[in-house]
Structure 1
Amino acid sequence: MMGHLEETVKSLLRRRSMSMRQLATATGISVSTISKMIAGKQRVNLDYLRRIADALGVPPLTLAEAAGLPLIKEPIGPTDGDRQTSMNALLEYLGLGNLNVLRTEIERELEKYEAYAQTEEGRQFIAEKYLAKRGQIQGIGDFLRDLDDIYDRFSRPDTPEDERRILASGILYFLLATDAIPDYLFPAGYLDDAIAMQMVRERLARRREMKDQGAEGS
């Protein structure tokens, strides 16, 4: 029985008067691999799915949904149990463990970027790249508001240098980190960036708490 992904791809091929061989040429993926993947005989490769979607002129999310991937249709919050369960399913599918594992990986990246933010190269990179990349993204709600706020606070001359480094780590994560989840799996694709912004806020809160405790003890 023809699967939903296979049916969708073959319908799009007919609509565009394309053969499977032409699709293979356009994507750089062999006919055999495409056939096995869309028929469910081998695991869906997200990069291949994106290439096939581009060649067929449809959003990658269309094929991701047809493949039955455990996608999230709306941004998740801390109390969205059902959607967090679905997100864990997606992360497991992608070989990324779960949300806790993802947070651990993001924390490691933020620590690395905080060190980079202390260099002239890191500060120059933010100055040259941030506004251009930020302008490419629209309408992602809380994630963008957090990102804009972090950049605004980073840019203020009265922001303490230790806090500026933490803020810069979040900006550099947005600019440099390899996305754990493909961005086209919107809004799930921005989950790691959103978590990074949340963790920047948590790190700022801890830093200020340590300062307050130091002031009280002096």
Structure 2
Amino acid sequence: MERKEPNQLEDTVKSLLEKRSMSLRTLGKQTGIDVASLSRMISGKQKANPDYLQRMAVELGVSSDELFRAAGFDVGGTIQRGSVNDSFDFLRELLNGQRFSKQEIEVELAKYEDYARTDEGTNLIVEKFPEKRQQVPGTGPFIEQLDDMYNSFLKSSSDEERCILGSGLLYFVLSTDIIPDYIFPIGYVDDALAIQLAWSRFSLIRRDLGEKE
């Protein structure tokens, strides 16, 4: 994941503050961020904190994407149907080195596979997925892959396929995310990676079946 140069966060924040006749000190109070830390971050002296950017976006009345891009994050590439490993590299950078691993998501998916085999797990997916799906704003590859997974889950008659697809859908539906969904837009990144991992396994199974036929 590449950052754009130069960092435009300072100009963007100053412009937004001016439009709202708001001072940096007021923004600090409203976001609960120390004004000195805020000043260092927007001037580029301190690495941009995703949580701070999200809080600032709320108070400044703009989408968090705008501040993420201004800070140098290539937000447009966060949730794509690309390499899973590339996505994890992006996530580590976005979270400023916070501990996060592919294995953590794989452990959760493995737990959900057994649950997806049960009638209770299946009913939960069918009942809760449409509602949770509506909470995800925007469009794009993540949404397309999410819908493809749900439709494939409903159509598949294979127990193995359904438990793999179901594990990804249960990760999305249940509120046990490694990154909370309310931290938008990055709150859905681990959901997207879980979907990618499950979909990759599903695709391998379908490919293997095709080669045997």
Does TM, normalized by the shorter one, top 0.5?
yes
State how far apart, in whole Å, the 2-side matches of 1:64 and 1:141 are: 18
Q: Which residue of 1 aligns with 2:28?
A: 24
Gaps of 5+ in 1: none
Q: Which letter maps to 1:163?
A: E
1:22-61 deviation line (CA, Å, top 9, x unaligned): 2122212222221222223322211111111110111112
**CA distance 1:29–1:49, shift in 2 (3 Å):** same
Q: Which residue of 1 aligns with 2:151?
A: 152
TM-score by length of 1: 0.70
State how far apart, in whole Å, the 2-side matches of 1:209 and 1:63 are: 41
State how far apart, in whole Å, the 1-side matches of 2:168 and 2:134 are: 17
1:69-109 deviation line (CA, Å, top 9, x unaligned): 3x153565558xxxx5x984663352269xxx854443333
Is the CA contact (8 Å cut-off) linking 2:171 and 2:191 kept in structure 1?
yes
1:92 aligns with 2:84: no
State how far apart, in whole Å, the 2-side matches of 1:11 and 1:198 are: 38
Q: Which letter maps to 2:158?
A: P
SS of 1:203's equivalent in the other structure is helix
State how far apart, in whole Å, the 2-side matches of 1:113 and 1:72 are: 29
1:142-201 deviation line (CA, Å, top 9, x unaligned): 433332232123224x6233322111101112223334996526xxx7665444334323
SS of 2:76's equivalent in the other structure is coil
**CA distance 1:178–1:140, shift in 2 (3 Å):** farther
Aligned residues: 200
Gaps of 5+ in 2: 1-6
Residue 36 (structure 1) aligned to one of 33, 40, 47: 40
TM-score by length of 2: 0.71
State how far apart, in whole Å, the 2-side matches of 1:77 and 1:161 are: 25
Q: Following TM superposition, where does structure 1 have runs of at least 4 consecutive aligned residues deviating by more than 6 angstroms?
A: 208-213
Larger radius of gyration: 1
RMSD of aligned alpha carbons: 3.8
Is the CA contact (8 Å cut-off) linking 1:113 and 1:172 kept in structure 2?
yes
Q: Which letter maps to 2:126?
A: A
Is the CA contact (8 Å cut-off) linking 1:170 and 1:197 kept in structure 2?
yes
